[in-house]
Structure 1
């Protein structure tokens, strides 16, 4: 794979469309990898769904993560993470600079919320092969989960 010429501190139009919090039923099978660093300086990988992240604009995202997880603690401690998105025949590596947001007192789905500024967005594209899929999931209770995602995205926007 080679580094694509679109290194920047904003999401490409394709990534913005993928992460903008709309059309969640069409995005229910997509999952992303969220990488952080532990206190022992080991890489830590978690998966995040389209219902836990929203791009407010091409340079600002919000994430709502389960409370008191290793990922949440790492992000709170370091203020950094990397989001890995496989989409549009590219592997996209998005460096995030994070700020923890106050908890929502009346959140229907309590989450630890972060605002993330895109510090770098790098896309790798292979000249010799097409990337045809990334991490995909199958929801066990799609109606319930999609409703929760819609509500979580709305809470992340506030």
Structure 2
């Protein structure tokens, strides 16, 4: 069972060079109150690797995803990278709210419980979820500030 992010993941999720990573998006799966899967998309501006076993998440307050994490303390991060699909199970702990932040976020630290790689022998994944920012300069600046705040 894999429980550590690779060097490539650490580079991707290091909170730096967000300009070059602005098109990457990830799916964050949680379970709602009726035990149905709930999917949300998050960006490189909402997740940062603390080390190979832990990631910080900074999520908008009052969202279904945030409420699900507060209740269950679990989520699965799904993304596509270098021709493979990855499913990363996280155990999450809520961190104290930071005061005097520019963007109010609920902060969590996630412990990597399991990483599963998925690829087919008969096909290659050529892309994952990709986004184009409407206002890259503004969004990337917000991401950089958010990464600094959630990493405290």
Aligned to 1:8: 2
Q: Deviating runs (4+, > 6 A) in structure 1?
A: none
| Conservation of the 8 A alpha-carbon contact between 1:89 and 1:130 | yes
Farther-moved stretch of structure 1 (91-100 vs 123-132): 123-132
- Equivalences for 1:25-40 in 2 at 5 Å? 25-40=19-34
Aligned counterpart, 2:144: 150
Partner in structure 2 of residue 83 of structure 1: 77
RMSD: 0.8
Partners of 1:24 and 1:104 lie apart in 2 by: 23
Counterparts of 2:66 and 2:91, CA distance in 1: 14
Say which of 36, 59, 77 aligns to 1:65. Answer: 59
Cα offset for 1:125?
A: 2.0
* Cross-structure match for 1:111: 105
Over residues 85-143 of structure 1, what are the superposed CA-to-partner deviations in whole Å (9 max), with x where a residue is unaligned? 10111100000000001110111111011000000011112221111100011100100
Residue 13 of structure 1 and its aligned partner are, at CA, apart by 1.7
Q: Which runs of 5+ in 2 are unaligned?
A: none
- Give the aligned partner of residue 122 of structure 1: 116
Number of positions where the alignment pairs a residue of Structure 1 with one of Structure 2: 152
> Hey, what's the Cα distance between the residues in 1 that align with 2:60 and 2:41?
11
1:48 equivalent in alignment to 2:42: yes
Q: How far did residue 9 of structure 1 move?
A: 0.8
Counterpart secondary structure, 1:123: strand
For residues 15 and 74 of structure 1, the distance between their equivalents in structure 2, rounded to whole angstroms, comes to: 25
Q: Residue 34 of structure 1: CA displacement? A: 0.2
List gaps (5 residues or longer) in structure 1. 1-6
Q: Secondary structure at the match of 1:47?
A: strand
Aligned residue among 14, 17, 28 for 2:11: 17
Alpha-carbon distance in 1 for matches of 2:14, 2:120: 26
Aligned counterpart, 1:3: none
